[in-house]
Chain A
């Protein structure tokens, strides 16, 4: 009915991750179980020789913090940044 009906978009939650690269032991739990597959293993190494995760697809991260729940070395967590 209203004029802007066609322009209404479903709300999209945006988020990001914080990575403490030197705590990471490269297990890839975060990458495997991120529901939006936003993470990838970095090609580079950290000080201990592991590949930490990077947010390869930032637009796909919703800040759900599942990566944070899975990470056994407490080296990543997700936060919501805004609802667009």
Chain B
């Protein structure tokens, strides 16, 4: 054993910011391990890769990564990332945030970025609650679970996020839990080298708020639950991916299609209209349809 061995995640972290603020048994850090290994495997040029987060416990990820990081305002990671991408199409732009940030206050941005097929990878850590602010209902909170804002049980219909992403036109859609570290790493790697709007949902423990309030034990209990109760169904119809309170969770890679990205569609249209006088906008790292 040599003392020079380093943790494979270390080169991707701002080590001076460790330890993280995350609670013991929180799953966000586990997803970061998968993300770091996927970055290595996908061989992305790290100098040309940026990570953008909104606000929340998951929103901390951007500030912990030693990439060009942007910690934006609540809900605005996707519009910020869109501007970053369009101003510098050569960048690989990755959004990493919680489901409250991306799907509640940021939900409108999410659906339109997917509809336009903006060239972004969106990693959404879904812990079924607003962690950072104390355990309120989020857009994925399952029916019957209790929250600070739903003390008698949540009764709204939750979003099925892969179905939402699919129906809005995302070209890559998958869902894993933080138990599925190898599969999650592989999906992240695949998604990193594909063009267009790509979406990965990561189901993750929040022992401090969601689980404690609902008497679901600690982080390890959640991980064991994912292990026992997840059903892998690659290619499943995304309409069938609802998650109820402690019901089995269907995981897998569900969508992998191609359609013109925002920039491709713009170039096509303006070339049709203006002919050779139009100079196509650069398409970025996955240009020429190589990975489309």
Chain A at the B interface: SS class? mixed
User: A72 to B27, Cβ gap below 8 A?
Assistant: yes
User: A68 to B7, Cβ gap below 8 A?
Assistant: yes
User: B219 to A74, Cβ gap below 8 A?
Assistant: no
Say yes or no: is B37 at the interface (Cβ < 8 Å to chain A). Answer: yes
Query: Once bound together, how far apart are the Cα atoms of A71 and B182, in whole Å?
Result: 13
User: A32 to B37, Cβ gap below 8 A?
Assistant: no
**When A27-B220, A32-B220, A32-B223 are in contact, do A69 and B181 touch as well, CB less than 8 Å?**
yes
Q: Could you tell me how many residues of chain B have their Cβ less than 8 Å away from some Cβ of chain A? A: 33
Of the candidates A18, A33, A73, A81, the one whose C-beta lies within 8 Å of that of B29 is A73
Query: Once bound together, how far apart are the Cα atoms of A28 and B8, in whole Å?
Result: 20
Binds A, one of B18-26, B159-167, B251-259, B272-280: B18-26
Chain A residues with CB under 8 Å of B26's CB are 72
Of the candidates B8, B9, B25, B185, the one whose C-beta lies within 8 Å of that of A27 is B25
| Chain B contact residues, CB within 8 Å of chain A | 1, 5, 7-10, 13, 18-20, 22-30, 32-34, 37, 178-179, 181-182, 185, 218-220, 223-224
24 CB contacts below 8 A, A to B, read A16-B1, A18-B7, A25-B25, A26-B24, A27-B25, A27-B219, A29-B219, A29-B223, A33-B179, A33-B223, A50-B24, A66-B181, A69-B181, A72-B25, A72-B26, A72-B27, A72-B29, A72-B32, A73-B24, A74-B13, A74-B18, A74-B29, A77-B5, A79-B1
